[in-house]
């Protein structure tokens, strides 16, 4: 990098910590797109141990980004000329005049005026950096077929000279795509490292770069440190274990449970709070037996686990209190999504628990930050490190993994452990729990969207589509319905 921190560095680091996508939308009219792309790419390459690839990958990213801008310009041109891009005859006619007029200078503002845009998405996950260039226009059938063939053939070429003879003069992007494919091959990557696909009104060019072996080894070492750290967390209180044992025993009566819960002021208050919430309530009750019957075994386990976590991690700081407030909203979202979107009434209580406990890893790490802050300078002096070295270590801690490890230590149900572990990658969940994990993931997306902490572009489009949310309009419709439900029955 040029020594100056990128403007959105905190957002980039947050995306890396959370294994979530970071979206960059350069302003084509500003003329500094390449600088913004290089600065962003350098941050993500550094976290992948692949800094040496900055030059070639910046070039490839710019080729794909310029191709996306040109594709949008072409779409806008066809629209203005009244030509159908999906008609082979009109396509050939339009391409001839487009290339001719492009030499004379077509108005570059035309795509923006018609709502067309291009963006780059950087995503580190599964020991791999994925760089995607997206534009919100779909390829015509003949374009997609031509591009797929060009990429396929490019990986068979041994040199650029050999590839030049294959360029289709109809498309101006031919050489750029070939160069990117050859670059991937030169880096020792296979055909799956580079692809261009089109669906749901969007075209995506995607490059996949694996982490360096040294970085992978460092991540394995970090995982070992996380296991050691989580192993030192206190156990959940004895009354939590006692009630969970009773909940697991089919011979335990609701009256026995109510008697034990009534003896614990915090637990009885939380049980009544949940029983009287919009999640369960048809009417208000102050009777603990009725509350226990109303929320049932799964609801009680949610109460017990959340109070156990609060007793160990505390609820004293504004940050933690805000996190719990957000978690109650996420829990409501998850239950509603399981019922109304995924049509899984058997998952309602589990989905609520998953949403409520999703921030477990964040809460644990907040405790690490708070306690370590007082000792960081002494530690760094002792090790001969700068304080920033400690911050770099904390940045490597994965809140999803920490949450899953803590949940395993405290013997949480398997489905909750999976929801925590795959918080940012629900597709990796087991088949048995995939729908449950998806419900919790979607609820988290909605919560982050509500807080303006993420946009639609940050979310996994495959998971959204599999859940009945094929596009931005459908996502907004689901979100608006959730807001409407909460206004009618506040959580």
- Domains observed in the chain: 9-211 (no CATH), 220-488 (1.10.3210.10)
* pLDDT for 393 beyond 50: no
Tokens (6 digits) for 247 = 């909940």
Task: Please provide the average confidence, as pLDDT, over all residues in the chain.
Answer: 82
Tell me: the pLDDT tens digits for 153-164?
Answer: 887 776 666 665
Whole-number pLDDT of residue 8: 82
Whole-number pLDDT of residue 427: 86
Q: Are 146 and 92 in contact (CB under 8 A)?
A: no
Q: Which of 477, 476, 414, 439 is nearest to 332 (CA)?
A: 439
pLDDT band at 374, cuts 50/70/90?
Answer: very low
In this prediction, residues 92-105 reach a mean pLDDT of 72
Q: How many CA atoms lie within 13 A of 305 on its CB side?
A: 27
In this prediction, residues 12-36 reach a mean pLDDT of 82
Identify the weakest region by mean pLDDT among 215-224, 240-249, 421-430, 474-483. Answer: 215-224
Between helix 434-450 and helix 348-356 the angle, nearest 10°, is: 50
Residue that the structure tokens 């980039």 belong to:
12
* pLDDT for 122 beyond 70: yes
Of the chain, the end-to-end C-alpha distance in Å amounts to: 47
In this prediction, residues 363-367 reach a mean pLDDT of 79
Q: Give the gyration radius of the chain's Cα atoms.
A: 26
Tell me: the pLDDT tens digits for 247-282?
Answer: 988 888 989 999 999 988 888 998 898 888 877 766
Between 330 and 174, the more confident residue is 330
In this prediction, residues 354-364 reach a mean pLDDT of 91
Between 467 and 125, the more confident residue is 467
Identify the burial level of 341 via C-beta atoms within 10 angstroms of its C-beta, where 0-12 means exposed, 13-18 middle and 19 or more buried: middle
* Whole-number percent of the chain with pLDDT over 90: 30
* pLDDT for 391 beyond 50: no
* pLDDT for 222 beyond 80: no
Whole-number pLDDT of residue 401: 84
* pLDDT for 99 beyond 60: yes
Whole-number pLDDT of residue 133: 95
β partners of residue 133: 120, 205
Q: Measured between alpha carbons, how far is residue 110 from residues 56, 118, 135, 242 in Å?
A: 30, 13, 15, 67
Tell me: the pLDDT tens digits for 40-84?
Answer: 999 999 888 888 889 989 999 999 998 888 888 888 888 888 888
């Amino acid at each position: 990098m040029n020594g100056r921190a990128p403007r959105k560095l905190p957002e980039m680091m947050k995306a890396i910590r959370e294994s979530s996508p970071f979206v960059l939308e350069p302003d084509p009219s500003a003329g500094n797109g390449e600088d913004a792309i290089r600065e962003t790419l350098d941050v993500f390459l550094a976290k992948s141990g692949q800094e040496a690839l900055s030059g070639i990958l910046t070039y490839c990213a710019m080729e794909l980004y310029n191709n996306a801008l040109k594709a949008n310009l072409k779409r806008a041109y066809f629209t203005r000329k009244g030509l159908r891009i999906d008609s082979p005859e009109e396509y050939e006619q339009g391409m001839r005049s487009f290339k001719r007029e492009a030499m004379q200078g077509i108005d570059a503002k035309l795509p923006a005026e018609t709502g067309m845009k291009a963006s780059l998405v950087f995503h580190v996950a599964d020991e791999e950096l994925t760089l995607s260039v997206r534009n919100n226009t779909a390829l015509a059938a003949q374009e997609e077929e031509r591009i797929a063939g060009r990429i396929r053939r490019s990986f068979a070429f041994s040199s650029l000279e050999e590839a030049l003879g294959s360029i289709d003069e109809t498309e101006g992007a031919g050489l750029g795509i070939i160069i990117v494919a050859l670059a991937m091959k030169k880096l020792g990557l296979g055909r799956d490292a580079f692809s261009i696909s089109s669906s749901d009104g969007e075209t995506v060019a995607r490059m996949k770069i694996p982490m360096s072996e040294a970085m992978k080894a460092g991540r394995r070492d970090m995982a070992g440190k996380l296991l050691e750290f989580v192993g030192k967390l206190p156990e959940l209180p004895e009354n939590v274990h006692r009630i969970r044992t009773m909940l697991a025993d089919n011979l335990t009566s609701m009256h026995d449970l109510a008697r034990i819960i009534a003896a614990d002021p915090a637990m009885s208050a939380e049980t009544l709070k949940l029983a009287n919430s919009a999640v369960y309530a048809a009417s208000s009750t102050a009777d603990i037996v009725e509350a226990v019957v109303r929320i049932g075994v799964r609801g009680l386990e949610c109460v017990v686990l959340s109070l156990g976590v609060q007793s160990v991690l505390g609820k004293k700081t504004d940050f933690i209190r805000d996190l719990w407030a957000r978690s109650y909203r996420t829990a409501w979202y998850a239950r509603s999504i399981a019922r109304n979107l995924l049509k899984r009434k058997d998952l309602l209580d589990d989905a609520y628990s998953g949403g409520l406990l999703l921030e477990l890893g964040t809460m644990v790490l907040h405790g690490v930050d708070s306690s370590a802050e007082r000792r960081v300078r002494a530690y760094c002096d002792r090790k001969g490190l700068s304080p920033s070295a400690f911050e770099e270590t904390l940045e490597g801690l994965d809140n999803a993994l920490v949450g899953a490890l803590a949940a395993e230590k405290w013997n949480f149900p398997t489905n909750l452990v999976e929801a925590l572990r795959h918080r940012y990658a629900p597709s990796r969940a087991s088949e048995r729990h995939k729908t449950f994990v998806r419900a919790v993931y979607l609820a988290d997306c909605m919560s982050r969207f509500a807080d303006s902490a993420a946009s639609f572009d940050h979310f996994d489009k495959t998971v959204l589509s599999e859940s009945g949310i094929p596009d931005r309009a459908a996502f907004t419709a689901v979100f608006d319905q959730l807001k409407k439900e909460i206004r009618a029955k506040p959580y």
